Structure 1
């Protein structure tokens, strides 16, 4: 788990370096044009919906429900602490990283307005931390293979859809999304690794 953490950290550092050297703008612009080339009223509505469930009130509601479920239904206090560390820690990490890199948001074609710095994406980090840690915690409580496959598929779909929605809406560069995934991947691997060691 810690090796994967180091790999994610190295990937994040690589993206941050390319952003600093301005070597990734061509990739970013090409991916943005690809997704925005599909623009339609229906797709825009869907992307706004995915974006909405990746941050703010929906994430808060899902987090509270998850904490209540872990504490009162499963009665797993350690898992509850792991969940809180995963989600809250990811949010704090995002704040620190954005304040460190000060990257401005893209200006190509915005379908919604956002404020604040761009790298790494708060939506990408929030989605990955929330749905990623839920998938990890619920995995062993699902006894059948197809149920576990469905859990992973649903979690991965939500994480990716929320990330893509931010690119489509023009408020993040693709490298912001990738950086967010890698930063959260590093964070989750680190705290899950510590959790597993203490549990064993």
Structure 2
């Protein structure tokens, strides 16, 4: 529980600092530099890397899409219910659904437009900050990673479960920048608030479990 509280607090602090810098316009140069680093300087419509990479990145980014996340949540919740883990099912649903609502509210509150300095490699119409893909994938995969880690006895197995979950969330976020549909700070913010939300929910669940255990 202490680890979850620490991670939640650190992530929330990172998000707060990032928002402060973004609102003051201090992140513009960083955002521009990173976005341009993923493009051919002679033709900004062309991403760096071999021809197959853009297609592969689009496949990866789908791991953070609403459709894919919904399917994973439904499958995971069904398994947890069949396994008799009602508390874990409730935690998963509250974490994911609550995080999705929070993401939409924050997008409206900040009202940041999507990048306009490079052509987008896929169509997106919603607002930009924070990245919904980065935030929601961090929430779902970190929550699942934490649940799986708690079911393991060895520390190496626990670290592996949580590490894989974090890696998936990171790769999804990076794909959004590569495709040019998010500023890098959108993704950093999504990771930060997503991790804070997921770990906060996990800490609350552990506290409730011990209190009523």
- TM-score by length of structure 2 reads 0.87
The match for 2:100 among 91, 98, 103 is 91
RMSD of aligned residue pairs (Cα, Å): 1.6
2:171 pairs with 1:161: yes
Give the conservation status (yes or no) of the 8 Å contact 2:31–2:185: yes
2:143 pairs with 1:133: yes
- Range moving further from structure 2, 187-196 or 150-159: 150-159
Unaligned runs of at least 5 residues, structure 1: none
- Range moving further from structure 2, 180-189 or 34-43: 34-43
Q: 1:4 to 1:135 in 2, by over 3 A?
A: closer
The match for 1:26 among 23, 26, 29 is 29
Partner of 2:59: 49
Partner of 2:188: 178
Inter-partner Cα distance in structure 2 for 1:53 and 1:185: 17
- Aligned pairs for 1:110-121 within 5 A: 110-121=120-131
- TM-score by length of structure 1 reads 0.93
Unaligned runs of at least 5 residues, structure 2: 41-47
SS of the equivalent of 1:85 reads helix
Q: 1:65 to 1:119 in 2, by over 3 A?
A: same
Q: Identify which of structures 1 and 2 has the higher relative contact order when contacts are C-alpha pairs closer than 8 Å and 6+ apart.
A: 1
